Amino acid sequence: METSISSKPLQTLKETAGTLENPHIRQWKEDGGKVVGYYCSSFPQELITAAGLLPFRMRATGSKGTELSDSCFSTINCSFVRHSFNCVLKGDLDFLDGMVVLNSCDNVRRVFDHWVRRIPTPFVRMMSLPRKAQEAQVEWFREELSGLKSEMEKHFRIEITDDAILKAIEQHNLTRSLQRKLYEFRKLSKPPITGADSLAVTVAGTAMPVTQYNQLLSGLLEDLAGAEGISDHSARVMVMGGELDNPGLLEVIEGQGALVVTDSLCFGSRMFWKDIDLNNADPLTALSRYYVVDRPSCPRVFGMYEARSQFVKEMIRDFKVDGVILERLAFCDFWGFEQFTIQNDFKDWDIPLLMLDREYMLTGVGQLRTRVQAFLETIAGRE
């Protein structure tokens, strides 16, 4: 299944998502700009933008193996971390001038230890990310952001003003608004864009200057407004889970006749479903409150299960979802617990649920097709 429209912005965004050092990054570097990487969607990329730097969210697109990183991580560590750090060791991410690692999980936390020992990146820092979403944690993370701001100013010899942070928040809020408009098209009975293409669009936004991305996404939305919708799908499917930056997985699902119409993913809706509140007098507090409390959480945040469950339930309702696929990277403890817990909710909601454990690289495609086919037959049998 493919999006039927001919859209130059869409093609550009898909090409950007399909590689690591894309043309936008190369041009940024040629113009004298610097790039700072980060791993988790809970990292406030606005602070990097406010510093006049380019934020780049870590991926391992195009990776073929973990032959180098296997000396740092075992085979029972997260394959996303192993593949992404393998790309670092190979030099595929040498365009990075800095790296900020959150303690988002134990696997990512260990990246910092290996990075500072083996990679000569000029600026590498570790930040602590709270595991609760209360006022004490907002204050805590605000102090973490203040410390990072000071270290960035010192290292890059810049000043990050409150006005610059507010402007960056406005730019990224515009991105979120445009991405939500993209998802509005997916609510239609005949959406004009596939789930795979939509994921490529959101992934591209983590790897290019925000102003260029907003221009391309605005152009895509104009193209979609007059496009013919996709009508030959057998079921409307939602995908939920953690790190998923590969549209190829959704292409396999949609190749079996389903149409992925929405998601709860950290490269998807959880990045942009809410805006940062610009009414807060202190921009660092606004950033902290958004990333700790306001945005839809993942299972690493304690005490927020009911809110996550409600978010999924509302997505199912608003996008008229027939069934949900929960994808989990093997050995991910957070999503392992979530899988176990959320099964009961789906039984109560009477919504079909397929749980897939996978590796970062897209493997076992034949088996995946078979499982998706069987799942779609289950959905069809309910009609």
pLDDT at 5: 76
- Report the percent of the chain where pLDDT is more than 70: 99
pLDDT at 275: 97
Query: If pLDDT is split at 50, 70 and 90, which confidence band does 332 have?
Result: very high
CA angle 270, 275, 278 (to 5 degrees): 150
Amino acid at 9: P
Number of separate domains in the chain: 1
39 SS3 class: coil
* Cα 367 versus chain centre, distance: 26
Burial letters 66-84, b for 16+ CB under 10 A, else e: beebeebbeeebbbbbbbb
pTM: 0.97
24-39 pLDDT, tens digit per residue, is: 999 999 999 999 999 9
Q: Show the domain range for 322.
A: 1-383
93-140 pLDDT, tens digit per residue, is: 999 999 999 999 999 999 999 999 999 999 999 999 999 999 999 999
Sign of CA dihedral 178, 17, 258, 194: positive
* Cα 170 versus chain centre, distance: 20
Helix runs in 78-161, H state only:
79-90, 106-118, 135-156
pLDDT at 120: 96
73-92 pLDDT, tens digit per residue, is: 998 899 999 999 999 999 99
Contact by Cβ (8 Å): 114, 276 = no
Which CATH number does the domain housing residue 39 bear?
3.40.50.11900
pLDDT greater than 90 at residue 383: no
Residues 6 or more apart whose Cβ sits within 8 Å of residue 43 = 100, 102, 127, 291
Residues 6 or more apart whose Cβ sits within 8 Å of residue 164 = 50, 51, 52
Beta bridge pairs of residue 282 = none
Task: Tell me the C-alpha distance between 108 and 89, whole Å.
Answer: 15
